[in-house]
Amino acid sequence: MAVLVTGGAGYIGSHTVAELIDAKEEVVVVDNLSQGHRQALLGGKLYVGDIRDADFMETVFKENDIESVIHFAAYSLVGESMQNPAKYYDNNVYGTQRLLEIMKKYGTKRIVFSSTAATYGEPQTVPIEETAPTQPTNTYGETKLSMEKMMKWFDAAHGIKYVALRYFNAAGAHHSGRIGEDHSPETHLVPLILQVPLGKREHVSIFGDDYPTEDGTCIRDYLHVSDLADAHLLALERLRSGGESSVYNLGSGKGFSVKEMIDVARKVTGHPIPAVLEPRRAGDPAVLIASSAKAKRELNWSPRRDNLEEIVESAWNWHRQHPDGFTE
């Protein structure tokens, strides 16, 4: 009996695979390696291919007894999704449809899904609860919401139970220092800040300082990637013990501004990290902070690595040891 992890060679996927391996689960990974890295896998059996490829997925399901799925495979860049919505609908929405179809065919009844705070759009109140309205401000968030909705109707029709985990901002790296964040192109704040002390860029950009926050820069809720990973195992346990389909926010409940994040990185790295003010980035809400009370209550989940300096330090440890990221 195996857990299939789609997109398991990506950033959050690979950290989840690491936790599953530690928990002695049998793991099968499907990844087309468009963003993922072979070396990011600390275990599991890798099939290189695309979730939209029905013949390929047949092989995976035929060769393994898949009892549950954890679904990460998706595109996730807000900016790109606004330029090229078709790419996002095709991989994210249609890809999920194909995955649910093959799960139905093989009788796999559980799926844990990698969703996002981008499903909410500009929040009316913070911290955001799961009952908040979902009005995505970008195509990426809209496709993730569509994927959640699709799961709801596959549950109603075919009894496939799902847990959607709406992540806030993942950061940090595995304690071993062997795996971490490596996107191409890199768009996320923490790795971009750390590229300065690595000598890969002269300065970090601050996208807008005229937001209605104390220092004018955007506030986000940063969470250690291994804490996110843990939540997937707890969600799986919930489904295995007969839990109903549900949606959970995952965040620390604390917000830090872009300027505060740069200051933390200065402290951790001992580098002055020059910052340059630039215009706002389209689609950025001013403040995103999660209420994770529901995940605490129902999944018994709470972040264990909740010191921001330690989160940034773990990222720094990874980047320092792998200045060029993974080599394949």
Helix H segments across 160-273?
Answer: 189-194, 225-240, 258-269
The C-alpha atoms of residue 63 and residue 56 are separated, in whole angstroms, by 11
Q: C-alpha distances in angstroms, 39 versus 26, 30, 164, 314, 328?
A: 18, 14, 27, 18, 7
The C-alpha atoms of residue 111 and residue 69 are separated, in whole angstroms, by 5
Residue range at the interface with ligand UDP (CB under 6 A); choices 44-52, 97-105, 185-193, 265-273: 185-193
Residue range at the interface with ligand UDP (CB under 6 A); choices 13-21, 29-37, 94-102, 187-195: 187-195
Work out whether 169 is an interface residue with ligand UDP (CB under 6 A). Answer: yes
Work out whether 206 is an interface residue with ligand UDP (CB under 6 A). Answer: yes
Q: How many CA atoms lie within 13 A of 275 on its CB side?
A: 18
User: 217 or 245: whose CB is closer to ligand UDP?
Assistant: 217
Cβ burial of 38 (10 Å; 0-12, 13-18, 19+) is: middle
Concatenate the DSSP letters of all residues of 81-112 into one string. HHH-HHHHIIIIIIHHHHHHHHHHHHT--EEE
Residue of the chain from 132, 150, 192, 293 that contacts ligand UDP (CB under 6 A): 192
Residue range at the interface with ligand UDP (CB under 6 A); choices 33-41, 107-115, 136-144, 205-213: 205-213
Work out whether 311 is an interface residue with ligand UDP (CB under 6 A). Answer: no
The length of the chain in residues reads 328
Tell me which residue has its CB nearest to ligand UDP.
218
Residue of the chain from 187, 263, 302, 326 that contacts ligand UDP (CB under 6 A): 187
Residue of the chain from 109, 174, 220, 232 that contacts ligand UDP (CB under 6 A): 220
User: 199 or 242: whose CB is closer to ligand UDP?
Assistant: 199
Residue of the chain from 194, 258, 308, 315 that contacts ligand UDP (CB under 6 A): 258
Report helix, strand and coil shares of the chain as percent, to nearest 5. Answer: 40, 20, 40
Work out whether 223 is an interface residue with ligand UDP (CB under 6 A). Answer: no
String of contacts with ligand UDP for each residue 76-105, x by CB under 6 A = --x---------------------------
Residue range at the interface with ligand UDP (CB under 6 A); choices 88-96, 102-110, 143-151, 204-212: 204-212
Ramachandran assignment for 262, one of left (phi > 0), alpha (psi -120 to 50 degrees), beta (any other): alpha
Question: Least separation, in Å, of the C-beta of 149 and ligand UDP?
Answer: 21
The C-alpha atoms of residue 163 and residue 55 are separated, in whole angstroms, by 27
User: Which one is catalytic: 11, 75, 140, 167?
Assistant: 140
**Which token pair is 289?**
């902070």
User: 86 or 276: whose CB is closer to ligand UDP?
Assistant: 276
**Which token pair is 197?**
């002390």
Work out whether 126 is an interface residue with ligand UDP (CB under 6 A). Answer: no
User: 228: closest CA among 253, 245, 250, 254?
Assistant: 250
User: 97 or 187: whose CB is closer to ligand UDP?
Assistant: 187
The C-alpha atoms of residue 267 and residue 263 are separated, in whole angstroms, by 6
Work out whether 204 is an interface residue with ligand UDP (CB under 6 A). Answer: yes
Work out whether 137 is an interface residue with ligand UDP (CB under 6 A). Answer: no
Work out whether 284 is an interface residue with ligand UDP (CB under 6 A). Answer: yes
Cis peptide before 185 (omega within 30 of 0): yes
Is 140 labeled as catalytic in the residue annotation? yes
Work out whether 39 is an interface residue with ligand UDP (CB under 6 A). Answer: no
2 DSSP β-pair partners: 66
**Hey, which residues are catalytic here?**
140
The binding site for ligand UDP (CB under 6 A) comprises 78, 169, 187-189, 192, 204-207, 218, 220, 258, 281, 284
